[in-house]
Structure 1
Amino acid sequence: MNFDFSDDAKALGEQARKLFADKAGTTAARAAMAPGAPAFDAALWAEVANLGWTAARVPEAHGGLGLTAEESCMLAEAAGAHLAVVPLVSVLLATEALLLAGTEAQQAKWLPGIADGSVIAVPAWNEPGAVNPGVLAVSASGNALSGVKSPVPDLPGAHLAIVAAAGPDGPSLWLVDLAGANVETVETLDLVRRHGRLTLSNTAAEPLGDASHYQQWLDRAAVILAWEAIGTASSAMNMTVEYAKTRVAFGQTIGRYQGVKHKCADMFIKIELARAHALHGVAMIGSDGPELRQAAAAARVASIDAATYCGEEAVQLHGGIGFTWESDCQFYYRRARAISASLSGRVWWADRLVRALELRNRAAA
């Protein structure tokens, strides 16, 4: 099996990297942190939609391009690498949920708007204090939900939330139209991407699939988020390597010191390990392969490790300047922390990986 991306997916990824390098990046990220800044870059979002990136996974019957998960992952990596101030990754995750579990009526209602960029859909899993996607406080009663989802990435400015809520058969997904919903902006460690609090009080909702669909969506979401994390980690590494080539200490560039070389090499190794697992995950999504659960969990764990390590070492290897507000190191550190918490942390996914491997080994015995 070929675990590499197709030429079309690579071309789309290159196009996305060029656009975001020109119109996103650390300068735009710093502007987004300013008090009173909008929830996202509306001009860049319009351009993203015009290029068809919001329509990448949407079927042609609903106004989309009908592309594969490969294209979603390439877009997520580019957005993560350049800290793009647009809700693209959230929309890609929400689209995956609608494709996986939505009825024809639900898809016909929401996917055309997602495709043309007029509807911003975001997944809402996080709850205050929650660490386990299988244990949720938000619950359903009939076709209504009650509880609090916070912090939810890209919630301010969104039109549709795909909410994970507890049910009799386990957690499942629900569609919540945010028109008139109780949405507040909350501050998190990531000051670039806006987060929100969604308070549900017997709020009307529509079931999206069942408990099994929720588990399948977690796997697909983990792979897409892994590529976003890989993009962020790669930019942190590249920034640090360039700094090590130019920063002079004790008469020579710090990149000549063995300790610095080893740190940079470790960054590269962790990123490439995460990339290998994430490629496996994409291949399993594309083929609906039986190893998706373990590949997704491995990609999630390895990408969290890579993003966290690269974000931390970028700050450390920049020395004193790396800890200042003026340094751009903070963006990658903050984003790495946010990505690590966006769909439960490393411990839960490591346990999911172990359980998936146990099931595989038991079946093979």
Structure 2
Amino acid sequence: MTAPAAFLIPDRAWDEVTRSLAADARARAVLAAECAELRRGGLRSVTDKPVPAPSGSPHDYLSIAPYWWPDPARPGGLPWVRRDGEVNPAYHDHDNARLDAMCLAVSSAVVAHRVTGDAGHARFAGRYLRHWFLDPATRMNPNLVHAQAVPGVTEGRGIGIIDTAGLIYLLDAVCHLEPGRHWSAGDLDGLRQWFSDYLDWLLISEHGRVEGAEANNHGTWYDAQVVAYASFTGRTDVAARQLERCSMDRLTTQIAADGSMPHELRRTLSLTYCAFNLLGLLCLASLSQHAGMDLWRHGDALPRAVGHLAPFLTGERAWSHPQIVPFDPYVVALVLTLTPGRGSDAAAHAEWPHHRLIFSHARVASRRSGRGAAPAGPPAQGTS
């Protein structure tokens, strides 16, 4: 079985981006510079961390919760305390940063290969995918037992599963990396097996059960990952079951009559989280095609949510809810690219054409570290 070309992002969007890059030398130069910067970082892996996860295996993923900090009132700072929306700089020193860099590097290389035909980009993408997922010495184990740990509190949490949301976009790029000398059919089969194993863990682990029960963006992105990985691995029955049992209900429980998302409005980064949750719902709608469904037309909740939030994302209306750090507009083009009928708007709101196709978790979540992992772009914009 071959994964469909139109896995997540519509083929027309890929074609539009390809044409735009072919016609714009400056945009191609930016893409080339981003690819070069990501290559300079080398092939990263979960095995790069100086101290392994609490399991003792260097192959197990490890990250810390972004909004938790040492408690200055306690000896040694333990247990850490939560400061919603305030990113602890130590967050960027763990496997989440390596994962984001890998996703960005592979996706950028695939786009560059599509535009230029330079086999070096395909070679790099294939090497990186094998390094992260397949090579016995460097591969990541398919679990997130130790994701978003909190020192003094827990060695890992179910809500850490959101760390791998970017893998959905990575798989979309993989579907545009044609099997050949640099990425073989055997490599693709191995990648499918890795994602099938990870899907099993998501479905049966306690962490997966906890994350799937979350009522906000965490539950949305859990569903999106389950549906994406099930679709990629040919387990469409699992995708359909997740959509029918959980995802359809999320549209009615998360989206209010006016199109707002009350769960996300409670956050100190309310615009960031509304956009992030909407992107997850749009991913679900796009992926639902693989199960013979159309979540976009399941009632009017999703179009209503887009209609409500889009004017705030595009700057037509001022945001009046809490947003304690500047909103990063990088996510706007991603949202509009997956919104039916908004392709031209997506192009207008992408700083560079290829950013419509590439998911940067650090930017989508307004968590840039300034260490060069995310694609280049304009300074983050403030909101009211």
Same fold (TM over 0.5): no
* TM-score for the superposition, normalised by structure 1: 0.29
Specify which structure has the higher proportion of strand.
1
TM-score with structure 2 setting the length:
0.28
